Structure 1
Amino acid sequence: MSITLQNIWHLRRVADTASKACYICYKPSSSVLITPDNRDFFYVCPSHLKDRHFCSPIVDTEAVAAKAKEEALAREIEKVKREYEEKQQRKKNSEKEKAKKDDEKKKDGEGEDKDKAIEKERDEKIEELKKSGSAADDSPRVFALHKNFYQMRIDRMRNAEIARRNRQRLQDPSLFPSVPTGGL
């Protein structure tokens, strides 16, 4: 039985308390490269992932295009928000002037409180969007190992399979010859 293993590895993160030795340098690492079918995995330092002689990232062009489209949409939304805020500010200023003429004390106190509350909500929403945007950047990445490292992983799996078969054979009593019977 030949071992077939695709050279596609997904980067996953584990908790710092669950970190284990890096496959290359044996330092503790919380980054794991794992195959899509979960047949093989190993821990690796993030610095090794940047080494072009170890692995290379597999770029999903559709995902890159979608991300660029989202960024353009976000910029457009920010532009529209700014324009809307400017219009509201101009409208508010004109209303304040009218309000000052009518009832200066009553309108000014309520308007400033409302303005501060609206600005605070807007700032909180912006911060929330920034946090969710940074979390999206930590999404799993896909890599292809260099041919030598890939062959090492295949050899390791093949040797484990051979060792497993040998253990099974040694447990089988028909493997050994029987003791001779009969006469002396």
Structure 2
Amino acid sequence: MAFPNVYTHRKVAETKAKSCDICFKLSSSVLITPDNKDWFYVCPAHLKDSGFCTPKVDTAAIEARKKRKLDEEIERVKKEYEEKQRKKKEKQEKGQSGDNKDEKEEKKDTDDKPGEDGKKTQRKTNQGSKNDADAAARVEEENTEEEPRVFELRSTFYQQRLNKKRQAEIARRNRERLQDPTFFPSVPKNLPS
């Protein structure tokens, strides 16, 4: 009957939003126990209230996440470095195979044509904006992951949840008893003497 005082925060669709058990405002946030025995709607503002619940921090998961992000960042930097080194080698090989005069003339020709330079700078700015969008997406993803997902209710609220579950169980048993035909006494069949 009793369930652990560990609740996981989950979001539901806005169309499935129901009233918060605390303040009765519409909410799409749900606190649910790991074994799905108890769940209730709650406003996200209540999750930040230390009088209602406290977040349970899983330090091992946080460390693993940080390590994974660090590894991904290292891999990304390595790839960028290898790409730069490859381009540098290509330029050196190109410089050794061709005359320096031809390269200088090509450079002057590209400087004289503003349309091509404009395209190059535009490509660079587009790449910069894509990188900015990627960085913004990573920051947003980090912020959503930083919010605690597991909570422990304060003892008074946890007792209220237990009492509510007990009352619901008692009401269910009473309904079943009333539907059972042997619950009520039968009419006496013998005449009284």
TM-score (norm 2): 0.72
When the two structures are aligned, how many residues end up with a matched partner?
A: 178
> Could you tell me which residue of structure 2 aligns to residue 33 of structure 1?
31
C-alpha displacement of 1:12: 1.0
Q: 1:131 aligns with which of 123, 134, 137?
A: 137
Question: What is the rounded CA distance, in whole Å, between the counterparts of 2:191 and 2:153 in structure 1?
Answer: 63
C-alpha displacement of 1:116: 4.1
In structure 2, runs of 5+ residues without a counterpart are: none
Q: 1:161 aligns with which of 169, 186, 191?
A: 169
Q: 1:121 aligns with which of 109, 127, 135?
A: 127
SS for the counterpart of 1:179 is coil
Within 5 Å, give how 1:98-109 maps onto structure 2.
Answer: 101-108=104-111, 109=113
Q: Structure 1 residues 71, 98: CA separation in 2 closer, same or farther (over 3 Å shift)?
A: farther
Contact 1:100 1:107 in 2 (8 A): no
> Could you tell me which residue of structure 1 aligns to residue 181 of structure 2?
173
In structure 1, runs of 5+ residues without a counterpart are: none
Structure number with bigger Rg: 2
Question: What is the rounded CA distance, in whole Å, between the counterparts of 2:131 and 2:64 in structure 1?
Answer: 23
Q: Which one is further off, 103-112 or 135-144?
A: 103-112
Question: What is the rounded CA distance, in whole Å, between the counterparts of 1:84 and 1:111 in structure 2?
Answer: 27
Residues 133-176 of structure 1, C-alpha deviation per residue, up to 9 Å, x if partnerless?
A: 41353247110111111111111111111111111111111111
Question: What is the rounded CA distance, in whole Å, between the counterparts of 1:84 and 1:126 in structure 2?
Answer: 22
Contact 1:11 1:34 in 2 (8 A): yes
TM-score (norm 1): 0.75
Amino acid at match of 1:146: R
C-alpha displacement of 1:118: 4.6
Q: RMSD of the TM alignment (CA)?
A: 3.5
